[in-house]
Amino acid sequence: MRILPGTKSVSHFCMVAVMLLVASMSWAQKPEPGDPGQVVQRFHESLLEAMREGSRLGYRGRLELLASAVERSHDLDFIARTSLGSHWTKLDPEQQRVFTDTFRQLSISSYAEWFKSHEGERFEFVEQQPMPREQVLVRSRLIQAKGEVVRFDYVLRQTKDGWRIINILADGVSDLALKRVEYRAILERDGFPALVDMLKKKIASAEQS
């Protein structure tokens, strides 16, 4: 290719600029506004805020901070129903309400218990990919202070309010699958009151953090 006099340095500069732009885009892999990746990113920002302000806020302050964040990012009603599987339809409307309300309290209080201090941790967005049934998988990871990495993969589905998280996998272990096993075992062995009592005990335990 023939370079016109006086344009070589300009052409070289433009080529380098384009290469750097493309490289920066591929490295960052930032989620687009309004997509599932952004829902996860905003949730992570709230978790980090709770961690950084953990001691100042205390449990109640973290609970208040994270309540709105969890409501905006999770489909808690769907998770509650799914965790019980076929047992859900066997509950009467009042039992369904009690279970959903208690499950919501436990979900938020658990985050307030777990994310209460910050030692240099940070979240990284990895990738986003489609799944069956029009769901989306958002892969991320938590980089801990000493360099240890914990993989957090989020399954989201589209709702009338936008994309919402319906399952979280920590290093490949499904939170929803664990809940299904635990909740159904208690229901079948001890009945509905025992299940609700177990959830309330977990909430009380989180409040001591």
Burial class, 196, CB count within 10 angstroms (exposed 0-12 / middle 13-18 / buried 19+): middle
Q: Residue 190 carries which side chain, given as an amino acid letter?
A: D
The domains found in the chain, sorted by start residue, are 36-206 (3.10.450.710)
Instruction: List the single range of 51-55, 81-85, 134-138, 145-149 with lowest mean pLDDT.
Output: 145-149
Give the predicted TM-score (pTM) of the model.
Answer: 0.82
Reduced to 3 states, what is the DSSP secondary structure of residue 10?
A: helix
CB 97 within 8 A of CB 77: no
pLDDT of residue 209: 73
Question: Tens of pLDDT along 48-71?
Answer: 999 999 999 999 999 999 999 999
174: which 2 tokens?
């499904």
Closest CA to 142 of 24, 33, 59, 44: 44
Count CB neighbours of 83 within 10 A: 21
pLDDT of residue 168: 98
58: which 2 tokens?
């205390």
Question: Tens of pLDDT along 16-43?
Answer: 333 333 333 333 455 555 699 999 999 9
